[in-house]
Structure 1
Amino acid sequence: MSKETILFNRPFMTGKELDYIAQAKFGNMLAGDGPFTKQCHRWLESHTGCNKALLTHSCTAALEMAALLLDIQPGDEVILPSFTFVSTANAFVLRGAVPVFVDIRPDTLNLDERLIEAAITSRTKAIVPVHYAGVACEMDTILAIAHKHGLAVVEDAAQGVMSTYKGRALGSLGDLGAFSFHETKNVISGEGGALLANNPAMGLRAEIIREKGTDRSRFFRGEVDKYTWQEVGSSFLPGEMTAAFLWAQLEEAQSITNRRLAIWEHYHGALAELELQGLLRRPIVPENCQHNAHMYYVLLAPGIERQVVLDKLKSHAIYAVFHYVPLHSSPGGVRYGRVHGSMEITDGYSERLLRLPLWLGLTNEQQDRVVDVLGDALAALAT
């Protein structure tokens, strides 16, 4: 009898997506900034408290907009973790900036705020904290450092929709924030993202940059009699069908989060014994952080070969995955960036991290099977 396959990810649909897409089609509005886009903007502004939210075709696009808004120039430096997706660095490298990689905290795997100040030079323009697994960075400290040195803060909150830091939504704490609605995230539109501007002046410029450098949005609000090219920009808008799909998800964002948290907590309880045995380490979430159950990862004990564990899970039709190859050790990172200080935690943890299947519809029985196979694999390797 063949084993039931447990995928790593399965995109969730609320049931209203196709209806809303049809409404967009029959409303004869398929380009960007139609009624569904506006509803998404209002929801994001209301739920995060940001000054202005703008949908983009990806989180990458939102980060690229952030680099334009900050007038990043060749030779400028941007401080960020190496343990992140390439878009975090690439958005600034496209403007000629140098990403300066610093190490991560051993508890949350977030940018280690204690290492930031020593990495600042006269060329530093911004700090880009990445909220790994939807768990907030230590934002009070980061914001204080930025204020002291006159730096901008861009939150890469790609994984952070519905997460908070001391009660405040991720993406709303820095000057700018970026969300992802990629199909692997909690709230999805296939591809998609959003830029959050927390400074009114940046919000007005963001509209222009997003609309190919024109003041088209002001024209449609009746604020100017025609729209013209104002500054450098590009086409960062998603189509209205993407926004329609996203609206169906945002309506259910709290329910989605609650259900994912229940799955996360089941893993957390089921894996406690393996942690007590010293075979792995479970995620650590600080008390002042409310996460969104974006992922459940474990750190395998030192000396356990991760690929052997992945192969064992796969042989049981369970698809777990590793995560980032640190940017500083990649060809692009070596070419475009530089390292400040030791990368001991980044290098060590990136080789030990394993992400388990987590998606709406995953049952307790399926989770228990994942944990059982994982436990058997670890026990065999530890003897």
Structure 2
Amino acid sequence: MKIPFNRPYLTGNEEHYVNQAISSGKISGNGMFTQKCQNFFEKNYAFKKTLLTTSCTDALEMCAILLDIAPGDEVIMPAYTFVSTANAFVMRGAQIVFCDSMYNHPNVDAEAIEVLLTPKTKAIVVVHYAGVACDMDKIMGIAQKHGLFVVEDAAQAVNAFYKGRPLGGIGHLGTFSFHETKNISSGEGGMLVVNDERFLERAEIIWEKGTNRTAFFRGEIDKYGWIDIGSSFLPSDITAAFLFAQLECMEELQGKRRILWNTYHQEFEGKENAFKLLEIPAYADHNFHIYYVCCDSQKHRDYTLGRLRKNGTHAVFHYQGLHDSPFYKDKYRGRELVNSDFYSNTLLRLPLFYELSVPEVQNICSFVLNEG
């Protein structure tokens, strides 16, 4: 493809920091660069505690363990999301209760949550799609009223905000992804954010295979042992070294994405006869992670995808609603999810990465609009 959907960008220090990690003699988890990355987020976003993980999936699985999710528990989440959001809780035996998206954005419809609550509901998982905040005041209000936990799946939302508050730092727990398609990348990688003090100590134990090994290395105890369930959620310090080089350039990376995102939006504004453009709520300061349009039908989207590919541009559709997935469709007993189905059938993601140029974006738009 002449224009790929994504191309990972190197800032220049990745190799230097990886070599530095190797030279330090410690390349396993929780080394020097792991601490640097965690300190970066705790200092810049005032997160209570952060723990790097091998993926956002791992961070979500840690959330399910921390919340003691068990068979019989119900967890509410959007149907329009990646499988990891649900899988982490299904693996603990939870019954997933899918909520519809908003009419004007793929985020979960906060107004539709409360009617889904039952005595079995234990948690609400929200997904900040495209780095755009969900209505967190409404969602946290529902959780407080009914004694529920809130997990923020902020996989796409590094350096994005809700009313000035960083996403991932509002719910009881938050998770991030550093997959190569994200704004800030380590190839694969993720992070757990602990905002509720009740989970601070246990999160570290679960992170270290169910042991108090980290406390031992800090000199707080004279030996460590197996005291809880857990797994090997720590990434290598080589992965953390790569990530730290990206974090140092976060503002530059996001600034270029802002230019490209705004170019897309300027090209499409006023030409919405066959497309539905995304809406950014006033409470959300997003991070320019995704630019998408919604076509007027699945047939129109498929035609547009084919047209772009013939022109050498790799565009993609996104999630297929989990309620209609081969794994879950026979288990789903809820109501029709009209908006989720709409996004599954019509949403078209366009290339957006650091090395993409403004003229290339303009050319992509002309082909989408049948002008090229």
The TM-score, its normalising length taken from structure 1, stands at: 0.95
Question: Is the aligned partner of 1:312 residue 2:302?
Answer: no
Q: What residue ranges of structure 2 are gaps of 5+ in the alignment?
A: none
CA offset digits 1:219-247 (Å, max 9, x no partner): 11111001111100000000010000000
Alpha-carbon shift at residue 303 of structure 1 (Å)? 6.8
Does the CA-based 8 Å contact 1:119-1:340 persist in structure 2? no
2:353 alignment counterpart: 359
What are the superposed Cα offsets for residues 150-185 of structure 1, whole Å, 9 maximum, x if unpaired? 000000000000000000000000000000000000
Contact 1:14 1:248 in 2 (8 A): yes
Deviation at 1:342, TM superposition (A): 2.8
Go from structure 1 to structure 2 and tell me whether the alpha carbon gap of 1:194 and 1:331 turns closer, same or farther (over 3 Å shift).
same
Structure 1 residue identity aligned to 2:282: E
What does residue 161 of structure 2 align with? 164
2:326 to 328, 331, 349: 331
1:273 aligns with 2:270: yes
Q: CA RMSD in A?
A: 1.3
**1:369 pairs with one of 359, 363, 372:** 363
User: 1:339 Cα shift?
Assistant: 4.8
Alignment of 1:1-383 (within 5 A): 5-275=2-272, 278-302=273-297, 304-335=299-330, 337-376=331-370
In 1: Cα distance, 2:298 partner to 2:148 partner: 40
Partners of 2:186 and 2:239 within 8 A in 1: yes
Query: How far has the Cα of 1:274 moved from its partner?
Result: 2.3
Letter in 2 for 1:373: F
Normalising by structure 2, report the TM-score: 0.98
Q: Is the 8 A contact 2:297 2:345 kept in 1?
A: no
Residue 128 of structure 1 aligns to a residue in which SS? strand
Q: For this pair of structures, how many residues does the alignment match?
A: 372
> 2:158 and 2:250 mapped to 1: Cα distance?
9
1:59·1:158 contact (CA, 8 Å) conserved in 2? Answer: yes
Q: 1:204: Cα distance to partner?
A: 1.1
Q: What is the CA-CA distance between 1:348 and the residue it aligns to?
A: 1.6
- 1:299-351: per-residue Cα shift (whole Å, max 9, x none)? 1124752111111100000110000011000022225x535333011112210
- AA of the residue aligned to 2:291: Y
Whether contact under 8 Å (2:298, 2:345) holds in the other structure is no
Is residue 48–residue 170 contact of structure 1 (8 Å, CA) maintained in 2? no
Q: Is the 8 A contact 2:75 2:96 kept in 1?
A: yes
Deviations 1:21-61 (A, max 9, x none): 00000111110000000000001112222110000000000
Supply the distance in 2 between the matched residues of 1:372 and 1:202 (Cα, whole angstroms): 50
